[in-house]
Structure 1
């Protein structure tokens, strides 16, 4: 495994002196009281990605999103004017959940002209206006214009739909994202419509799983079984260092070199990879997607492997050098549980072979994700023992240090502002 030089002056961590170099505490991942504050301080104030515009392709298209971390369910819909809007999924009459199918707690999607409550048939149009009340004359001075759906702040960047649950967002979405993220504008997200998704309930704090994907120090060890023994042993001994880390505002980036899978020695590839011409790094025959945006591959690696952009608080966009991308979401459900969602995006396949190549890449990455998740319950249970109070991090784990520092800063800022009020 190739090693790349450190920055010209010092280590990566030393470039961010505000983070320090001492041991870090994981109390923020095991304390129920911290989690309750974190829900308000972070998840009710930050912009949260809840999907993409391809999920609402035409007028009346909608999907629901269950967000236990902010104690609500929302409807995301394409309105009659073509806008993407979001509403709390609650009827204004008696508080019933407005949109659901057979199971009230399960997410759903579809196309409709209006939303009708299952309880008493109140109706709302796509703009959220209350349009019909059953036996309206039975009510007292009812002004329907005052009882539309409760809106949620909603904005779209490059096809990604974001919502914000603050009474008034502290920043517009693009200001929140900042240049490091907005410099990804122009990537052909709209061409990546071949989509594979997996979802898992994880018995660990959401930050611990984010930590697992913020460093590659673990890769030669944890993923050793994915490669031939001789190669895995050599890789573990050599280690691996990513050539570029960056922190900007609340967000983070790690960029790595790559390999051209078809140039690897035969004994380093699996037979199925040769048959399907695909694997972990994606299909070997990538489609021409045009010029890439300036925000990608900041280290100018050749060959380039991937860029993992960690958008605070819980969203990851991971770009692969072979012309595809994936996203991760980590949705907290308690101080020590969360829902993990992984979604893989490719261009539409042109042939059956391309479809099979995409499926193999998606399944391969799912296997790696499961390996990362496999350590989390063991980590959570032992950190909760409080046998140790803090943990040492190496230079390659600088993004982990930043996530926990940033979360603490949002909590402290919220507590300060709340106290002032």
Structure 2
């Protein structure tokens, strides 16, 4: 394992004195009233990633997204002109959900020339215009040009599709992302089309799961059984500390060193890793992806493990040094439940061996995620007991402080604007 000098106490938190060092409260993760404020103050104001352009590869391609936190369903579609647009998934006639298959609350996707309501066959073109009304003459003063689908603000950055539910977004998507994120431009996202996706309903507040992936203090302990005993014991004794943290606006970054698994002693590896030439850090045979963007590996680690970019509020881009990346989404469904979505992206495999290596990496990532989710449900159940109302955080948990402080700031800002202050 690569080793780095241990920074002095307070070495990261001291860069962000506004976060403080006192114990923190997780009241924001157990209070139903605060969650209701979050829904309006954050999820109806911030830019939210809902997918990638590969999900709508050609004219007429579409997918739906169920967003309980925003109390809506949306349609994302590639129009005749090739533009990507988003609309609320509601017919202008009786308010029926416009696009769905057998189960109205399940997401769906496909290709079409127009959208037709199942209830009374009103039709809309790919730009959302109302084009046909059954028995149109029966209606009173109907002007079809006034009754198109309700649009949702939609912008694309590096192939990622974002929506914003505000009447008028306070910032453009690019302004919202800021330099730390836009410095990732140029990464070959378009080449990463081999995708593995997992989805789970987690009985914990969405922020608690984000917290789990914002620090690596837990990794040598919680995930010890995922490694051979000789390695996990040494890791637990040594601990792990990431060499770089950064906060910019509402977003956060943690960057870590890595390992070259194939250089480790035999007893440090699992037999399946040798067979598949892969594991948690990804396939051993790194693809040639060209020059990486300036925003990656800011600590210049060698070997470099990963960079985890936490995009506020609920989207994570995690880049692995071995040439693949993961996305995480945390979609709140209540104050103590959310839907977790994780996707691993690789270049298209050229051989069966490459495919197997990708599958082992994806399965390893899933196992780690399950361990985290299981622990977080235990956390949620106990903080709801309110036996304790403050919790200690160490220096390398600085990003956790920031997420909870940023969430509170958005809610406070919303309350002020609502009150006209």
Q: What TM-score comes out, normalization by structure 1 length?
A: 0.99
Q: Which moved more, 1:401-410 or 1:258-267?
A: 258-267
1:265, CA displacement in angstroms? 1.0
**2-structure distance, mates of 1:56, 1:7:** 46
Distance 1:230 1:110 in 2: 49
| Cα pair 2:2 2:259 within 8 Å, conserved | no
User: Cα 1:231–1:9, aligned 2, differ >3 Å: closer, same or farther?
Assistant: closer
Distance 1:318 1:52 in 2: 15
Deviation at 1:261, TM superposition (A): 1.1
Residue 233 of structure 1: how far off its partner (Å): 1.7
Flag structure 2 segments of 5+ consecutive residues without an equivalent: none
CA apart distance, 1:398: 0.2
Worse-superposed segment, 265-274 or 249-258: 265-274
Shift of 1:9: 9.8
- For residue 81 of structure 2, give the secondary structure of its aligned residue in structure 1: coil
Q: Quick check: 187-196 or 1-10, which moved more?
A: 1-10
Whole-Å separation in 2 of the counterparts to 1:6 and 1:81: 55
CA displacement, residues 353-378 of structure 1 (integer Å, 9 cap, x when unaligned)? 10111011000110011111110111
Rounded Cα–Cα distance in structure 1 between residues aligned with 2:258 and 2:412: 39
Q: Are 2:56 and 2:62, in contact at CA under 8 Å, matched by a contact in 1?
A: yes
Which residue of structure 2 lines up, in the alignment, with residue 304 of structure 1? 304
Runs of at least 5 residues in structure 1 that lack an aligned partner in the other structure? none
Superposed CA deviations along residues 324-350 of structure 1, whole A, max 9, x for unmatched, are: 000000000000000000000000000
- In structure 2, C-alpha distance between the alignment counterparts of 1:277 and 1:99, rounded to whole Å: 43
Q: In the TM superposition, what is the alpha-carbon distance from 1:4 to its structure 2 partner?
A: 2.8
Q: Which consecutive segments of 4 or more residues in structure 1 shift more than 2 A? A: 1-10
Q: What is the CA distance between 1:10 and its match in structure 2?
A: 4.9
Aligned residues of 2:230 and 2:268 also touching (Cα < 8 A): no
Equivalent position SS for 1:43: coil
Residues 306, 319 of structure 2: 8 Å contact kept: yes
Q: Measure the CA separation in 2 of the matches of 1:93 and 1:102.
A: 21
Contact 2:10 2:395 in 1 (8 A): no
Work out the number of aligned pairs and report it: 421
1: CA distance, partners of 2:10 / 2:318: 27
Whole-Å separation in 1 of the counterparts to 2:368 and 2:108: 28
* Alpha-carbon contact 1:6-1:12 (below 8 Å) kept: no
Pairwise CA distance, 1:227:
1.3
Deviation at 1:8, TM superposition (A): 8.6
Assess if the C-alpha contact under 8 Å between 2:2 and 2:303 holds in 1.
Answer: no
1:3 and 1:338 mapped to 2: Cα distance? 36
Quote how far apart the aligned CAs of 1:286 are: 1.7
Structure 2 CA distance for partners of 1:9 and 1:280, relative to 1, 3 Å: closer
Are 1:325 and 1:345, in contact at CA under 8 Å, matched by a contact in 2?
yes
Deviation at 1:2, TM superposition (A): 4.7
Moved more, 261-270 or 15-24: 261-270
Whether the 8 Å CA contact 1:196–1:362 is kept in 2: the answer is: yes
Q: For residues 194-226 of structure 1, give each alpha carbon's deviation from its aligned partner in whole angstroms, at most 9, with x where no partner exists.
A: 000000000000000000000000000000001
* Cα pair distance change 1:7/1:267, threshold 3 Å: closer
The Cα shift of 1:7 comes to 6.3
2:236 is aligned to 236
1:220-247 residue CA offsets vs partner (Å, 9 max, x unmatched): 0000001122321221111000000000
SS of equivalent to 2:37:
helix
- How far residue 6 of structure 1 moved from its aligned partner, in angstroms, is 6.0
The aligned runs of 1:13-412 (5 Å cut-off) are 13-412=13-412
Range with greater deviation from structure 2 (259-268 or 170-179): 259-268
- Return closer, same or farther for 1:386/1:8 CA change in 2, 3 Å cut-off: closer
Quick check: 2:115–2:124 contact (8 Å CA) kept in 1?
yes
- 1:3 to 2:3 alignment: yes
Cα deviation, residue 144, structure 1: 0.2
- Asked if 2 retains the 8 angstrom alpha-carbon contact of 1:129 and 1:147, the reply is yes
Distance across 2 between alignment mates of 1:2 and 1:45: 42
Retained in 2: the 8 A contact 1:50–1:161? yes
Deviations 1:128-158 (A, max 9, x none): 0000000000000100000000000000000
Shift of 1:5: 3.8
Tell me the distance in 2 between the aligned counterparts of 1:160 and 1:48.
10
- Change over 3 Å in CA distance of 1:370–1:157 after alignment to 2: same
- CA distance in 2: counterparts of 1:219 and 1:293, whole angstroms: 27
Deviations 1:74-116 (A, max 9, x none): 0000000100000000000000000000000000000000000
Shift of 1:11: 1.3
Q: What SS class does the counterpart of residue 295 from structure 1 fall into? A: coil
1:14-51 Cα distance to aligned partner (Å, 9 max, x none) = 10000000000000000000000010000000000000
